[in-house]
Amino acid sequence: MKNINFTCPFCSLLCDDVQLEIKKNSFKPVNSGCSLLVSSLKKKINDQFSRVNGKKTNISEAITELSLMIKESKSTLFTGMATDIKGTKAALNIIDKYKCIVDHFSGDSYSKNLKSMQETGGFFLTLSELKNRADTIIIFQSTGEELPRLFEKYIFPKKTINNLKKRKVIFIGTKVPKFFYKNKKIINFEFIKLDSINLLNFLSSIRNSINFETKEAKDKRILYLLDILKKTNYGSILWNASEFQNDISDVIINEINLLIQDLNKFTRFSGLSLSASDHVLTVNEVLLWQTGFPIRTSFANGFPTHDTNQFSTKKLIDNKEIDLVVWINSFNEKSIVINKKIKNVLIGIPSHPQKNNVDIFIPVGTPGLDHNSHLLRVDKVVSMPLKKIRNISLPSVDQILNKVKEGVTDDN
């Protein structure tokens, strides 16, 4: 039995302060109670078989079948895309060459942030600034469930580099995060209860008060918040697009980004979107590096075409606009959408509950657990190296896809 240092790959915080106790290839956190880490490490691998039409087979046969499917497909979608930098690059090699479409599990929420950035621009925040510099933090409807240690490490840290003494934390939304309630005796925060529609009106009123210097605001909450904003030296605003009311979430995000710009007329404020589940930032950045386009891009015409609505996974599957879907998820057991009228492939962890429901299932290891990897942190300023710690013979996503590409090429 021994302890090792570990960088956790299970969310985009990529916490590198974790220690694990190792005993017979099983792992137990020593200094972290993160629920996501604990549940992820507890998953048991009962078998490592690939499957074709629900029947166990060897991995070579499954790869051959997938190569043949891609060769015969008239329109293929690669989605889910919960993988690392190498896995994304390997997928992109196939997507580009065989004129496929690419999306992500978090495509719906993340594309709204992308669209807002394109339309309004933004002032962007790093985790180091959030932890060590921010004297005012405003959180819009973010429960923290996607990033379980966010509040513990960066909103209410025990220590900061410059020994920051006073910090205002204001949560604006429908429901206070569990962390706040559990620690309410030792942390200070303020709660303004607003649903998404009232939040939108609230944001608009604050912006009007700032831009037109109006003193007619009757809502005491707005007057109180304006007073705090004017006294702020280094402010941060956080939000999670997936937790806003869907039909107005894009407007809310625009208002948040415009508010940050308004605040920078008289003080310093920056923002950070927390819509980063399943490492969408890693996938999106690799796409931008290599093609200049983000997720929801098609290569069907021999060049990249980006459209957030046209290339939505839900739309493509519901309308049967593709005949093959390749789902990739090397981190968790998130449910996938299966339309029996098209071919479905899952490249995922061995414990995935839908592995018998797809046409082809190929098991893979988890980056940072079963093989060395690199992933981008939620603030996109750090590409974290992760080391293999588990002795198990599971291939990585890039190893599988490189073999698939070879198979398709050989068939041609």
CATH code assigned to 45-106+278-411: 3.40.50.740
190 CB-contact burial (10 Å; exposed 0-12 / middle 13-18 / buried 19+): middle
Q: What is the pLDDT of residue 106?
A: 94
Reported CATH class of domain 110-275: alpha beta
Q: What is the pLDDT of residue 409?
A: 77
Cβ–Cβ under 8 Å, residues 90 and 225: no
Q: What is the pLDDT of residue 411?
A: 53
CA 34 vs CA 13, 156, 243: distances in Å: 12, 16, 21
153 CB-contact burial (10 Å; exposed 0-12 / middle 13-18 / buried 19+): middle
Q: Which of 231, 245, 299, 240 is nearest to 274 (CA)?
A: 240
77 CB-contact burial (10 Å; exposed 0-12 / middle 13-18 / buried 19+): buried
Q: Which pairing describes strands 297-298 and 101-102: parallel, antiparallel, or unpaired?
A: antiparallel
Q: Which of 108, 112, 100 is nearest to 287 (CA)?
A: 100
* Runs of H (alpha helix) within 106-219: 107-120, 127-132, 150, 178-182, 196-211
- Distance from C-alpha of 50 to C-alpha of 364, rounded to nearest angstrom: 10
Domain ranges across the chain: 45-106+278-411, 110-275
Evaluated on CA atoms 45, 378, 136, 217, the torsion sign reads negative
Report how far Cα 160 is from the mean position of its chain's Cα atoms.
26
Q: Which pairing describes strands 76-82 and 101-102: parallel, antiparallel, or unpaired?
A: parallel
Residue 51 tokens read as 């499957």
Q: Which of 296, 273, 299, 294 is nearest to 284 (CA)?
A: 294
Cβ–Cβ under 8 Å, residues 191 and 176: yes
Which amino acid belongs to residue 294? P
pLDDT tens digits, 317-354: 999 999 999 999 999 999 999 999 999 999 999 999 99
Task: Name the helix (H) or strand (E) containing 347.
Answer: strand 343-348
Q: What is the pLDDT of residue 144?
A: 87
pTM: 0.94
pLDDT tens digits, 235-271: 999 999 999 999 999 999 999 999 999 999 999 999 9
Cβ–Cβ under 8 Å, residues 144 and 150: yes
**60-70 b/e with 16+ CB inside 10 Å = b?**
eebbbbbbebb
Residues in the chain where the model's pLDDT stays below 50: none
Radius of gyration in angstroms for the set of CA atoms belonging to the chain, rounded to a whole number: 23
